[in-house]
Structures are given as C-alpha cells and as structure tokens.
Amino acid sequence: GEDVEQSLFLSVREGDSSVINCTYTDSSSTYLYWYKQEPGAGLQLLTYIFSNMDMKQDQRLTVLLNKKDKHLSLRIADTQTGDSAIYFCAEGPRGYQKVTFGTGTKLQVIP
Amino acid sequence: DAGVTQSPTHLIKTRGQQVTLRCSPISGHKSVSWYQQVLGQGPQFIFQYYEKEERGRGNFPDRFSARQFPNYSSELNVNALLLGDSALYLCASSFINRGGLKRTEAFFGQGTRLTVV
C-alpha cells in the first residue's frame, strides 16, 4: 500500500540550511512532491521531482531522491522566517490527483 | 489569472445536517479533485473528476459524494454530518489534455474549513 512518513518538527536558525526528510513506500510513483502550507492557507506546490531523477535544484530549494531507500529530502538554503510553515511530502502520478501525502513537518525558523 | 476558488471559506454545521462545498478550477483545467485535511494530518484523497466523470475515489463512506458540471466546476456533498467530518476541505485542479500526454501538477485552492458541532 501507499504510505508516506515524515518527522513532525524541525527547528533551525535564520540563515542556516533546513533539511526535511521523507520516506515513501509506493515504488510505482511517478512524481514526488513537496508542498508548503502556511497557517490557515491551502497548499502551495514548491517543487517536484520525477522518479527517475536523483536531484533537482530550484533557487534555494534542492530535492534529493534515493530510489533504492525510497527516501526524499528537501533542503532549503539560507532559511528565512518566511519559510516557517508545514511542509508536506507527497507521491503520485502527475496530473492524476490521487496524491498520497505525508503527515507534514512543521518548520520553525528562529530569528 | 484566477487560481482555484472555493466557497464558502468557513462553515459551521450541526451533526446530522448536510453540506455542499463548491470549487471552481483554473480556467482550462478539466480535472478536479477533493481532499480532506483533518487538523494535524496531511490531506486525504476523496474524489477525482475529469470531464465530468468520476475517475477515482478514496476510502470515504457513501455519505460523501461529488459531481462536476459542464463548466468543470465541482461540488462536494456530505450527508449526515458527524463531528469527525470537521476538517479543511481542499479542492485541486489540473490540466490533462485529451490524450493524457500533457498534464500539469495539481493547483490547490485555499480550502473550506468545515466545523461540525
């Protein structure tokens, strides 16, 4: 079955790098996503990686995928207070929206 | 361009009542999906509609139903509300072309927060 797991909480100092980790179980997933959710808001897609890629970089964001271990990570460089939010890892085929989400990691950025 | 819009933003209902939530997808998007996000958890898939047909259903009871209209907007209906139905209901839309070869990621609305008392 499908299952996505994340640690619940991460605290970093402003300016440091944040690394949020995720493990998934469905090896048939086509895409792996990172979403950001601020308090009282909907989901914002940050980035995604195709399952045959190892890494994707987009400005301050770096996604690493270890297909063997089914491990996905999101690195945020130079973390800012505005990055404080809940980050969801998710897996699923692109466009078809039966996306399976993790429980979310709450990122707290300390000024 | 307008994003995915949902209405209402907040709603309070009593146990046993029925509720209808509405979603308008991004212009040109024909696929709409619904998710339930209980406080402290990740979103759970409820339904997907594409070209007005149900294409997927999550593990939710028959009290949950949905439909998609010719203009691709969608409604989610929940009957006989329970306290446990209190959640943020998210709608997402995406573009899928006729052949299914071109697709976009899902764009989410801000959600409707339903409180059942």
Per the prediction, chain B carries an average pLDDT of: 91
Distance from C-alpha of B112 to C-alpha of B23, rounded to nearest angstrom:
10
Residue carrying the six token digits 């085929």: A93
Residues A32, A89: contact at Cβ < 8 Å?
A: yes
Cβ-based contacts of B103 with chain A (< 8 Å) = 94-96
State the average pLDDT over residues A77-104: 87
Q: Could you give the CA distance from residue B27 to residue B81 in angstroms, rounded to a whole number?
A: 32
Q: What is the pLDDT of residues B94-117, one digit of tens each?
A: 887 666 656 667 788 999 999 999
pLDDT tens, position by position, A15-53: 999 999 999 887 776 788 999 999 878 888 899 888 888
**B22 with B110: CB under 8 angstroms?**
no
State whether A88 and B43 contact (CB < 8 Å): yes
Q: Give the minimum alpha-carbon distance from B48 to chain A in angstroms, rounded to a whole number.
A: 7
d(CA B112, CA B24): 13
- Answer whether B95 touches A (CB < 8 Å): yes
Yes or no, beta carbons of B96 and A96 under 8 Å apart: yes
Q: Over 90: is that where the pLDDT of A1 sits?
A: no
Cα atoms in the Cβ-side hemisphere of radius 13 Å centred on A81: 2
The mean per-residue pLDDT over the stretch B69-77 comes to 96
B48 touches chain A (CB under 8 A): yes
Give the separation between CA B61 and CA B35, rounded to whole angstroms.
14
Q: Does B96 touch chain A (CB under 8 A)?
A: yes
- Give the 3-state secondary structure of residue A101: strand
Q: Which of A95, A96, A103 sits opposite B42 (nearest CB)?
A: A103
pLDDT, average across residues B61-81: 97
| Cβ of residue B106 closer than 8 Å to a chain A Cβ | yes
